């Protein structure tokens, strides 16, 4: 019996470490399986793809429309300076860009692919009449505002040297600046002031500012995302790495051209569990609309940072209410026309941050040496025990 037991025991001694481990404790085996599944999950889902985007706002300007013409408005001068009020078929005023090209009534116009790039022209039209009650220049007859707007666009185009303005002379410009009275084609007075209309309603100053913007090449809207430094700290509970403070700044650089309304944030690449916290350390849960002036830190779970997940790509999208406009053209070589409306627009900026950390890598050589040491110690002690066990009986026999 003892021989059989010894052989069985010897066979077990020859078993691998894993066989012994799984034989002795089934829960250890299950834990091992769970660990494998967990590691696989980390490989597949190691990056937290958080995406928060602002809602797209449909451009309120129509893609196409048919033109219509209205009343004539005449400025009293020598010679007189007259314009015709043109609109879309829905009654939205539109304005001519080219003075020397005829306007076509009843024609289909389509929006150009690109926004108007001349920020001076955008500024001027945004500060003139754009079809809403709130933007009336004079709070008088709308035809007065249309005349002031159309002539101001032509004067501006003349002063910056735009094409198709050769028929406007310097004398014409002087006459426009001097006009005090407007009337319609039925000789009914629309307005009759004691001072020149351009001076009274600040049109001359608006044109001057628009020219300065045009010549300077200034940008109307600016948006910037920045981090104070690359410093990376660890929170008091040692659960998170924390970046330095991130600032998001947007601005509209000219009067009445709009406002910065806030921003959204997208983390397109980050270790799982990455969050944003405000200056008080409170988690920011709604990244779709963050208020103007909000600053934040980025927190990254320490245990989620690996060689494959140690980079953060953050994009902020600034939300603006601003003025933008398009040119509209017809296939019949007609006048290029335009208008501006208040729309919600956006600018984006971002940053990439690499998490510099030193992972704790076990010293396998040291572990092996320690294992050998302990095994040797155990063998030595076992040997001493065996010797002692054999020597003691002999000592008693003597």
- Selection from 33-42, 56-65, 227-236, 350-359 with the highest mean pLDDT: 227-236
Residue 381 pLDDT more than 50?
yes
Considering only CA atoms, which of 238, 262, 222 is closest in space to residue 344? Answer: 262
Report pLDDT digits (tens) over 324-358.
788 899 887 788 988 776 677 889 999 999 988 65
Q: CB within 8 A of 126, min separation 6: which ones?
A: 256, 257, 323, 340
The Cβ of residue 25 has, within 10 Å, a number of other Cβ atoms equal to 11
Helices 142-160 & 119-126 angle (0-180, nearest 10): 160
Q: Are 86 and 335 in contact (CB under 8 A)?
A: no
Residue 359 pLDDT more than 80?
no
Instruction: Summarize the confidence of residues 238-245 as an average pLDDT.
Output: 95
The mean-pLDDT minimum among 29-33, 111-115, 346-350 falls in 29-33
Instruction: Summarize the confidence of residues 181-200 as an average pLDDT.
Output: 95
Report how far apart, in Å, the C-alpha atoms of 312 and of each of 41, 47, 161, 319, 348 are: 20, 10, 48, 23, 17
Residue 303 pLDDT more than 80?
yes
Q: Are 309 and 48 in contact (CB under 8 A)?
A: no
Q: What is the pLDDT of residue 270?
A: 92
Which ranges in 25-127 belong to alpha helices (H)?
Answer: 26-45, 119-126
Q: CA 323, CA 130: separation in Å to the nearest integer?
A: 10
Instruction: Summarize the confidence of residues 298-316 as an average pLDDT.
Output: 92
The mean-pLDDT minimum among 24-38, 131-145, 190-204 falls in 24-38
Mean pLDDT of the chain: 78
Residue 172 pLDDT more than 90?
yes
For the chain, percent of residues with pLDDT exceeding 90: 43
DSSP letter for 271, please.
Answer: B
Q: CA 240, CA 150: separation in Å to the nearest integer?
A: 60
């Amino acid at each position: 019996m003892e021989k059989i037991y010894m052989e069985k025991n010897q066979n077990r001694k020859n078993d691998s470490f894993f066989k012994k481990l799984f034989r002795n404790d089934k829960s250890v085996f299950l834990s091992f399986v769970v660990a494998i599944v967990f590691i696989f999950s980390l490989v597949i889902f190691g990056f937290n793809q958080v995406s928060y985007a602002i809602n797209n706002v449909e451009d309120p300007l129509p893609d196409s429309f048919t033109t219509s013409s209205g009343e004539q408005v005449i400025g009293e001068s020598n010679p007189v300076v007259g314009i015709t009020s043109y609109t879309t078929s829905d009654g939205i005023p539109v304005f001519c860009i080219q003075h020397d090209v005829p306007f076509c009534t009843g024609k289909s116009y389509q929006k150009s692919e690109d926004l108007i790039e001349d920020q001076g022209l955008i500024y001027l039209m945004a500060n003139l009449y754009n079809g809403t009650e709130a933007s009336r220049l004079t709070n008088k007859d709308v035809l007065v505002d249309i005349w002031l707007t159309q002539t101001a666009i032509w004067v501006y185009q003349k002063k910056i040297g735009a094409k198709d303005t050769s028929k406007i002379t310097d004398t014409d410009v002087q006459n426009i600046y001097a006009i005090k009275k407007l009337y319609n084609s039925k000789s009914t007075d629309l307005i009759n002031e004691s001072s020149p209309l351009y001076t009274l309603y600040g049109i001359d100053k608006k044109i001057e500012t628009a020219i300065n913007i045009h010549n300077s090449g200034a940008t109307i809207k600016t948006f910037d995302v920045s981090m104070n430094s690359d410093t990376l700290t660890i929170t008091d509970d040692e659960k998170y790495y924390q970046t330095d403070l991130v600032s998001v700044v947007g601005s509209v650089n000219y009067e009445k051209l709009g406002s910065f309304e806030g921003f959204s944030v997208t983390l397109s690449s980050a270790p799982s569990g990455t969050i944003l916290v405000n200056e008080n350390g409170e988690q920011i849960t709604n990244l779709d609309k963050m208020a103007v002036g909000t600053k934040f830190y980025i927190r990254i779970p320490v245990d989620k940072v690996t060689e494959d997940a140690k980079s953060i790509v953050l994009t902020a999208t600034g939300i603006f209410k601003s003025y933008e406009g398009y040119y509209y053209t017809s296939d019949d070589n007609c006048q290029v026309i335009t208008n501006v409306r208040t729309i919600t627009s956006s600018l984006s900026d971002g940053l990439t941050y690499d998490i510099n950390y030193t992972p704790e890598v076990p010293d396998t050589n040291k572990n092996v040496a320690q294992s050998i040491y302990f095994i040797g110690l155990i063998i030595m002690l076992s040997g001493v025990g065996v010797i002692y066990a054999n020597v003691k009986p002999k000592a008693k026999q003597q």
